[in-house]
Amino acid sequence: MDVIHPKCAGLDVHKDSVVACARLVTGQKATHEVKTFGTTTRDLLALADWLTARGCTHVAMEATGVYWKPVWHVLEGSFELVLANAMHIRNIPGRKTDVNDATWIADLLAHGLIRGSFVPAPPLQDLRDLTRTRTQLVRERARHILRIQKTLENANLKLASVLTDVLGVTGRNLLEALIAGEASPERLADLAHDPRLKASRAEFVEALHGRITPHHRFILALHLRQIDALDTAVREIEARLEDALAPFRAAVARLTTIRGIAETAAHVLIAEIGVDMSHFPSAGHLISWAGLCPRLHESAGKRRSTRTRHGNRWLKTMLVQAAWGAVRHHHGGYLRAQFVRLRSRRGPKKAILAVAASMLTAAYYMLRDGTDYRDLGADHFDRREKAKLARRLITRLHDLGFTVEVRAA
């Protein structure tokens, strides 16, 4: 095979060490020089000097946890860096050592056989950290709410049966009264004075008859404090996001015109894929990278597993949630029509993934071309397949015993 990069290097990155292999081509012969470095900043600077002294122009490494990031930051700007997916560059089984891994990466890079992963610019990396941390904190808050409900059920207080949101205004007042020592169901029911509540006073009194102990009060107070701390942390992150998103305000405003995409979802989209779509050759590549398309596994003419590919789980989770929000709306337009059309044949899970892929496709072209979102309409498929729909309806009427004569309106 042709050598694309005559002077390059492969790095096998670990927590405390980096094994570097410099592959140097002189004439018709390729030589390998291997050296092990530590992962402190001083050692990584020594690695950069060692690679520069050997004239390396390209450096490849595996995406190993978070350990590749410090190496990337130190070498960035001095070399053409390539981040490889570990699944794409597996070596031959039975010959695995750190030195062999680094040599294998260097050989693949020299012949141009490594497809680089998408590594966002530093501002987007910071934005990713903020949006992902916010997602984790919101999930943790939801877990504490579930633990509060578990404690209430343990005390036989059926608060979740009469309140939609246990942590709403009424629920919070009731919880604080319980923690303060109030045990009378009648006095507790007096706190539920929100006119929007559907449960009657008698139902509240019955639901608040229980057996609450000091232990239950301690657990409830503990979880409430954790929820308050998480709420404070989320507000701090959102304030920080306001500054980090300043260069992307126009893109966020454009993305929120897609049905189902709220500001939070738009923030995640920008953080995960950025605004420069040149990193993805087509919308199909972006959908594959997000893990919203079936894998291709065919052998001997038989198609095997078609489960979705592993992709960016942060982006995929957000898009699926946004897709559910879009299709549940009665005026969901094209997205709801697509979901209803596919659900009858493929089931709701595959249908919602298709809707999420459509939303990501729209976001790709909107960010690439700077265009606004235009909904195709709930009757898009009817307009596109008018003749096919007419034939199907005529056949159905014939099956029901009717003779139909069709004329153009």
Span 363-406, pLDDT tens digits = 999 999 998 898 888 888 877 777 777 888 888 888 888 888 87
Question: What whole-number percentage of the chain has pLDDT above 90?
Answer: 57
Alpha-carbon separation of residue 114 from 59, 72, 280, 329, 382 (angstroms): 11, 17, 16, 44, 45
Q: End of a domain among 244, 266, 286?
A: 244
The reported pLDDT for the residue numbered 384 is 78
Q: In this predicted model, what pLDDT tens digit does every residue of 113-138 receive, in sequence order? A: 998 888 888 889 999 999 999 999 99
Claim to verify: residue 200 and residue 141 sit in the same structural domain: yes
Of 110, 131, 160, the residue that ends a domain is 110
Pair (259, 368) in one structural domain: yes
Q: Are 105 and 10 in contact (CB under 8 A)?
A: yes
Q: Is residue 319 part of a domain?
A: yes
Residue-range definition of the domain harbouring residue 388: 379-409
Claim to verify: residue 365 and residue 396 sit in the same structural domain: no
The count of domains in the chain is 4
Burial of 402 (0-12, 13-18, 19+ CB in 10 A): exposed
Is residue 383 located within the same domain as residue 404?
yes
* Residues 214-235 as b or e (16 or more Cβ within 10 Å = b): eebbebbeebbebbeebeeebe
Residue 118 within any structural domain of the chain: no
The H or E element spanning position 310 is none
Say what the pLDDT of residue 305 is.
Answer: 67
Residue 231 in contact with residue 142, Cβ under 8 Å? no
Q: Enumerate residue ranges in the chain where pLDDT < 70.
A: 297, 305, 332
| 136 and 224 housed in the same domain | yes
In a domain, 162, yes or no: yes
Residue of 86, 84, 66, 56 whose CA lies nearest to 14: 66
What pLDDT was estimated at residue 307? 75
Domain annotation covers residue 327: yes
Residue 372, in any domain of the structure: yes
| Co-location of 64 and 91 in the same domain | yes
Is residue 128 domain-shared with residue 229, that is, in the same domain?
yes
Percent with pLDDT over 70 in the chain: 99
Q: Of 110, 140, 156, at which residue does a domain stop?
A: 110
97 and 51 inside one domain: yes
What is the CATH number for 91?
3.30.420.10
Domain assignment of residue 348, yes or no: yes
What is the structure's pLDDT at 222? 96
Query: Does the residue 358 lie in any domain?
Result: yes
> Looking at the structure, do residues 130 and 103 belong to the same domain, yes or no?
no
Q: Are residues 142 and 202 in the same domain?
A: yes
Same-domain pairing of 347 and 363? yes
Output the DSSP codes for 355-406.
Answer: HHHHHHHHHHHHHHH-PPP----TTHHHHHTHHHHHHHHHHHHHHTT-----
Residue 187 lies in a domain: yes
Q: Rounded to two decimals, what is the model's pTM?
A: 0.82
Q: Please answer whether residues 103 and 21 qualify as being in contact, where contact means their C-beta atoms are separated by less than 8 angstroms.
A: yes
- Do residues 349 and 273 both lie within one domain? yes
